[in-house]
Amino acid sequence: MSESRSYGRHDIDDEEEEAAFGPSTDLIRAVREALAEDRAAEVETLVLPLHPADMADLLEQLNPDERRRFIVIARGFIEPETLSHLDDLVREEVLELLTPREVAAAVRELDTDDAVDLLQDLDEKAKRRILDAVPAADRAILEEGLTFPEDSAGRLMQRALVAVPMQWTVGETIDFLRAKDDLPDHFYDLFVVDPARTPVGSVPLSRAMRARRSVKLADIMEGGPRTIPATMDQEEAANMFRQYALVSAPVVDDGGRLIGVITVDDIMHVIQAETEEDLMALHGVAETDFHASAFVTAWRRMRWLGVTLVNTIIAAAVISRFQATIEELVALAVLMPIVAAMGGNAGMQVVTVTVRALATRDLTPGSNVWRTVGKEAAIASLNAVLFAVVMGAVAAIWFDRAALGAVLGAALVFNMMWAGLAGTVIPIGLARMNMDPAISAGPFLTTTTDVLGFFSFLGLASLFLL
């Protein structure tokens, strides 16, 4: 484990007000200018005070050619922790610029969870070259970590932890900690284990420091620790941390033996990543789109746009069935988008809330589903009536035809109430079918609100206006 050290933030202009964190604009500009003119010593002077996270931000701001030149200069002093802060695509690019021996040296300095995260996206050939350059003991730990399912607690856990027998006293524990050379850089709990290395309790470090040396750990420990199976999905682990306000939690194997620990800083990254993933999936984009090539990003978005195209074709087919009605009353063509847009937007509001509630387990199929559906239906009814009255009055005055306003209002009520119902039912149904509602709910909802919106508006117009 590498020793932690403090990092300063380089000031380019003391008079300029800078952001609270991250590399300043002036610093990034100065580094680019130094790179362009091959002033290696100046680049080193500029970036050495940076925290690894800020160094990663700087690397992400550079273009590929600047990154190559930067790595040539910085390969001797770049902190291993910087690699763990990089965007996946940028990190892959940086790793290709380093030799397997350099990457292996960085892997040895990283916590096991960060090292496994660094290795997991590499191709097998590159992964093997790096692992072969790692000492056998470290290599065995990393290889075991890579055997756990992707996005599982086993991939997320750190192997370095503090486990002590329950018969020890606080004094014996403190003496052990002071004599031990390979303790984790940071830890928050002492895990109390039985002879089979099964967790039986935990003692917060702050509680141990306050207790007298003669006090036994068994007398001050919190019994029945909330253990996390190594195969548990990391999102479920994050929900456990959130539910019970945990700072760290032990990870156990299939036999219940302690094999690792997950800390709150790792969980924060999971919560952020899962939230961003759900939000972006609702709109058919990915977190890596910003750094991916134009071709790769276009291909990813093309699939979502293809779904949208199918949706519009279906909607156009519905409209075509009422072509004569629209020709008879041109005002319908002007007002049609209102019905579809209001239904679609109202539905996406509900879908966003429902998908997030499913992800955090605030909404679970079989428990509070009907209460949630009822609440969203009530909200949809209130909004539908309000906007139906407003837009119905606007349409009646605009086209000087009260019946047209009434038809528009009725279609809005129908479509917005359907949007409120579908916005909850569709994600819940997809979740029950083990489909990701964040990815699938949007297209299903948009298709139904567009088609039903057009059908209800034009159908009612055919019945009552012609």
The three-class DSSP label of residue 284 is coil
Taking the C-alpha atoms of residue 98 and residue 67, their distance in angstroms, rounded to an integer, is 12
Q: Strands 163-165, 189-193: parallel, antiparallel or unpaired by DSSP? A: parallel
pLDDT of residue 194: 93
> What pLDDT does 87 receive?
85
Asked if residues 300 and 286 have their Cβ atoms less than 8 Å apart, the reply is yes
Could you say which of 1.25.60.10, 3.60.15.10, 3.30.450.90, 3.40.980.10 is the CATH number of the domain covering 25-151? 1.25.60.10
Sole residue written with tokens 């692992």: 131
Evaluate the CA torsion angle 93, 97, 98, 99 in order and state its sign: positive
The per-residue pLDDT for 4 is 38
Domain ranges of the chain: 25-151, 163-263, 287-464
Which residues fall within 8 angstroms of residue 75, CB to CB, at 6 or more apart? 97, 98, 102
Q: Express each pLDDT in 332-355 by its tens digit.
A: 999 999 999 999 889 888 888 888
Which pLDDT score is estimated for 289? 54
Q: What span, in angstroms and rounded, lies between the C-alpha atoms of 275 and 309?
A: 27
User: Is 287-464 the same fold as 163-263?
Assistant: no
Do the beta carbons of residue 360 and residue 236 sit within 8 Å? no
Residues making up the chain, counted from first to last: 466
Show the low-confidence residues of the chain (pLDDT under 50). 1-17
Q: Which CATH fold topology does 163-263 show?
A: CBS-domain (3.10.580)
CA distances from 214 to 44, 174, 218, 290, 402 (A): 52, 11, 12, 57, 87
CATH architecture assignment, domain 287-464: Orthogonal Bundle (1.10)
Tokens at residue 266, please?
């790792």
Q: How far apart are CA 192 and CA 302, in angstroms?
A: 53
Q: What is the 3-state secondary structure (H, E, C) of 336-403?
A: HHHHHHHHHHHHHHHHHHHHHHHHHCCCCCCCCHHHHHHHHHHHHHHHHHHHHHHHHHHHHHHHCCHH
Contact 461, 447 (CB under 8 A): no
Query: Hey, is 10 helix, strand or coil?
Result: coil
Looking at the DSSP assignment, which residues form a beta bridge with residue 222? 202
